[in-house]
């Protein structure tokens, strides 16, 4: 809301009518005519794409410029819930137990979730070795260890504070040089911390 005070009277200048009028008064620069101030980038633009060498107006430019774009945080639905994730505060450890019983009793909490409850608990862009919620081990600070869903965001925040996680601390590694050394602590299960190695050669 924008309030304008004139002659001692306050008025809201952010009404839909005024916004529409302001929108209509906006003068966007016209696209240049072909052959005027437009430099030729390629010999024949039609051979590639009509967008090359052209001034293209974004379809969402006006909405962004006027602050009318609706983002996910602006949207609400009937009976919607909020969800938040409990994250590890330790760099490397085994998870001995995750107790969500107190969180489940908090006002507004509708569901809790731990890694052991997920049937297929793995995903990844190349290797599906990343758990949705860690069940046995955390590999870095911020790994997810539990989740809650509640009626409000604040109820989620309050419930996360009630989740109790017991860890068995393991030796962490804080830089890639140490991680690549022979005999280094294994962050993930496997023979090496090195995910892949590749040799690239060029010329003779």
* CA dihedral for 136, 139, 141, 144, sign (positive or negative): negative
CA angle 8, 11, 14 (to 5 degrees): 150
Which of 123, 124, 115 is closest to 86 using CA atoms?
115
Supply the pLDDT for residue 41: 47
Q: How confident is the model at residue 196 (pLDDT cuts 50, 70, 90)?
A: confident
Which uninterrupted H or E stretch holds 159?
helix 153-160
Q: What is the mean pLDDT of residues 135-161?
A: 97
Q: Token pair 């009793």 is at which residue? A: 105
Q: Cα-flanking dihedrals φ and ψ of residue 115, to 5°?
A: -60, -35
Q: Token pair 């590999």 is at which residue? A: 139
143 pLDDT more than 90: yes
Highest mean pLDDT range out of 4-8, 45-49, 62-66? 62-66
Instruction: Report the b/e string of 178-203 with b at 16+ CB within 10 A.
Output: eeeeeeeeebeeeeebeeeeeeeeee
Q: How confident is the model at residue 150 (pLDDT cuts 50, 70, 90)?
A: very high
Interacting residues of 61 by C-beta distance below 8 A, sequence separation 6+: none
Q: How confident is the model at residue 94 (pLDDT cuts 50, 70, 90)?
A: very high
Q: What is the mean pLDDT of residues 168-173?
A: 94
**DSSP symbol at 12:** E
Q: Please give the C-alpha separations between residue 160 and each of 86, 90, 95, 197, in angstroms, as whole numbers.
A: 6, 16, 17, 40
The domain limits of the chain are 3-73, 82-169
148 pLDDT more than 90: yes
| pTM (two decimals) | 0.64
| More confident site: 126 or 116 | 116
Q: What is the mean pLDDT of residues 79-106?
A: 97
Supply the pLDDT for residue 1: 45
What are 51-75's pLDDT values in tens digits? 677 777 888 888 899 988 989 888 8
| More confident site: 130 or 112 | 112
What are 16-42's pLDDT values in tens digits? 676 666 666 655 555 555 555 444 444
Supply the pLDDT for residue 31: 54
Query: What is the CATH number assigned to the segment(s) 82-169?
Result: 3.90.1170.50
Supply the pLDDT for residue 45: 47
């Amino acid at each position: 809301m924008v309030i304008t005070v004139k002659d001692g009277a306050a008025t809201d200048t952010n009404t839909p009518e005024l916004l529409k009028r302001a929108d209509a008064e906006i003068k966007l620069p016209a696209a240049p005519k072909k052959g005027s101030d437009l430099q030729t980038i390629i010999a024949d633009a039609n051979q590639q794409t009509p967008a090359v060498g052209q001034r293209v107006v974004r379809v969402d430019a006006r909405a962004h410029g006027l602050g009318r774009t609706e983002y996910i945080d602006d949207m609400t639905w009937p009976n919607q819930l909020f969800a938040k994730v409990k994250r590890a505060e330790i760099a490397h450890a085994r998870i001995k137990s995750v107790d969500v019983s107190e969180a489940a009793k908090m006002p507004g909490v509708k569901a809790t979730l731990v890694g052991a409850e997920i049937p297929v608990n793995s995903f990844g862009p190349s290797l599906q070795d990343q758990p949705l919620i860690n069940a046995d081990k955390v590999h870095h600070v911020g790994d997810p260890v539990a989740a809650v869903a509640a009626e409000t965001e604040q109820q989620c925040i309050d419930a996360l504070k009630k989740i109790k996680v017991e860890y068995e601390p393991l030796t962490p590694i804080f830089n890639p040089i140490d991680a690549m050394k022979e005999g280094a602590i294994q962050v993930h299960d496997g023979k090496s911390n090195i995910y892949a190695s590749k040799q690239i050669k060029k010329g003779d």
